[in-house]
Amino acid sequence: MRRRSTREVLAQLPATFRWLWEASPGGTVALCASQALMGLLPAALAWVGRLIIDAVTHAAATQSPADRERVLWAVAGEAGLAVVLLFGRRAQNYLRAFMRAKLGNLLSLRLLEKALSLELEQFERSQTYDLLQNARRDVATRPISLALSGLMLARSLVTLLSLGAILADIAWWAVIPLALSVVPEFFIETRLSGEAFALTTGRAQDSRRLGYYESMLTLDSHAKEVKLYGLGPLVLSRYRELFTRFFREDDRLGRRQAVLTLVFAALSSFAFYGCYAAVAWRTALGLLSIGGLTLAVVAFRQGQGAVEDVLASLNTLYDDARYVSNVSLFFDLPASGSQSLTSRFAEANLAGRVTTPVAPRTLPPGRFTIELDHVSFRYPGRETWALRDLSLTLAPGEKLAIVGENGAGKSTLIKLLLRLYEPTEGVIRFGGIDVRELDTAALRKRLGAVFQDFVRYQLTAGENIGLGDLERLGSRAAIEAAAKAGGAEDLLAELPNRTDTVLGNWFEHGHELSGGQWQRLAIARSFMRLQSNAGAGADLLILDEPTAAIDAAAEVALFERFQKLTEGRSAIIISHRFSTVRMADRIALLEHGKLIELGSHDELLAKNGQYAHLFNLQARGYR
């Protein structure tokens, strides 16, 4: 990971105060004002303490009632300052908690919004996961800690300056040795905190791996295979190995820190008692009053503490700023759609395909043709092509099946059509429009899909279906219609609370389903878009292994309904079951990312090529 410059690190402080202001302007003002007040109180209390002692000494010598009254007024003044101090501490505690909650909530929401704006391509990069993990770890605590460190620094400087002012006529020279005594500790702490940051940040992948090992032993999705294959000891040993390494690294750093801070703490104490002895000697010579001695001792102690606080605040500030830079780096990731159209079409311009960038467009209503024009795609960081020079046209209302062995490029093609990725080469057109010119969100509303790795939402059964069309999420009639279309009607009837039944086992009273039942809900979820408002609905439905977890009878019934629901609409079906794909108008066979064969089921059988070979192999298994 690249080392960040001091300028990059310290730039986090003004950014953090901008976040603090966004979270609560009033709270920010109150917090700053309370810190300034608390910075002045130590010097004020020390000064009043001197007045009390000198007044007592003077009154004892004169026995004057007026002098004794001045003692009481001085004590009352200190009592007033003590009340202010007490109130200020309580107010600060509240304000810190208040601003911690406000800022933490603001940045956590912003982090989730940022994650929502990223495209699939970014989520599939380990670097993005590292940034996301570091940001999630730091976002709730480090920004407020950085802001408080900055305020603590300002408070300590106010305290130091005010103490220096009241020491000006007593022992101004003492500031120098007291300050110098804590400087070495500051540099040591800064260096050690830098090492701690490097350790924590550099562990991003191993920390994620540690969490993964833990999930393997604690999540129900892994429990069956962990038990069956006896994976527990292996996973536990790997977890223990990583944990032990982390502990040893932390412990080694902690022991160094303990030894070094002990040495410099002793140096600080020697400086304090050296100054104390010098002032006590002057008092013994009659050059300073008892009150002056008391003031000097208190000021020495508080001054040295203020210097330590200044250096500690600088150290903590620099340390926190490093971690806040993780949050900033994640926020600075380019969001989906943030790339300008000019840069998007730069390569196309060079090829002579586009001459002038245009604003995002919306696909006109009605059915449309889908064209793949010499499309190639290569995943970031890989040298092999997932798709290579693929040209294909899908007419409005046509049903296309895509077959091929694992790794042939079928799922990659679906990702491109859904604009989860952009082609490395070539162009995809919807209705004759380059897909990169279209508004992505508007386009995706015209598409529906069932993925092979569909999501099992730990929500209600109704929500598991209704999420396919958020505009009608609250429509029970639409949800039940989609359930019927997707073959999940009987499943809903069997659930304890029908559509209101919470599914999964993450939450109390959750109802777990079989893999086939979950898949029926996923199919019903995609069918929500086929019955959208005003009869519009999705114009293209993509089914990626839609019947992998359901039985043969349910599969036949599903595709009978599918034929009716998609009448007049385009559909793309990926399946390894030739009983499924033969119902398509045309079948495309992919091999190593290239289109090998294309035609109807009968045409491909008559051709007696690779498709016919695969079909006969599968058919032989049913004989």
Mean pLDDT of the region 354-373: 72
Q: Are 574 and 408 in contact (CB under 8 A)?
A: no
Mean pLDDT of the region 199-209: 73
**596-622 pLDDT tens trace:** 988 888 888 888 888 888 888 876 755
**113-125 pLDDT tens trace:** 787 777 776 776 7
Q: pLDDT: is 271 or 323 the higher one?
A: 323
The CA distance from 271 to 264, in Å, is 11
The CA distance from 552 to 555, in Å, is 5
**222-279 pLDDT tens trace:** 776 676 667 778 888 888 888 888 888 887 777 777 777 667 666 666 666 666 676 7
C-alpha closest to that of 240 among 219, 220, 213: 213
Specify the residue for token string 């092999």: 384
Q: What is the enclosing helix (H) or strand (E) of 204?
A: helix 204-218
Phi, psi of 260, deg, nearest 5: -65, -40
Q: Are 411 and 545 in contact (CB under 8 A)?
A: no
**48-67 pLDDT tens trace:** 777 777 777 777 778 888 87
Mean pLDDT of the region 78-99: 87
Strand partners, 589: 403, 597
Specify the residue for token string 């976002």: 139
Q: Mean pLDDT score of the chain, rounded to an integer?
A: 77
- Residue 132: pLDDT band with limits 50, 70, 90: confident
Q: What is the enclosing helix (H) or strand (E) of 227?
A: helix 220-228
* The pLDDT value given to residue 41: 83
Q: pLDDT: is 177 or 457 the higher one?
A: 457
* The pLDDT value given to residue 1: 45
Q: Are 363 and 442 in contact (CB under 8 A)?
A: yes
**373-391 pLDDT tens trace:** 999 998 877 888 888 998 9
Rg (CA), the chain: 36
Taken in order of first residue, the domains within the chain and their CATH numbers are: 8-204+258-331 (1.20.1560.10), 398-410+444-620 (3.40.50.300)
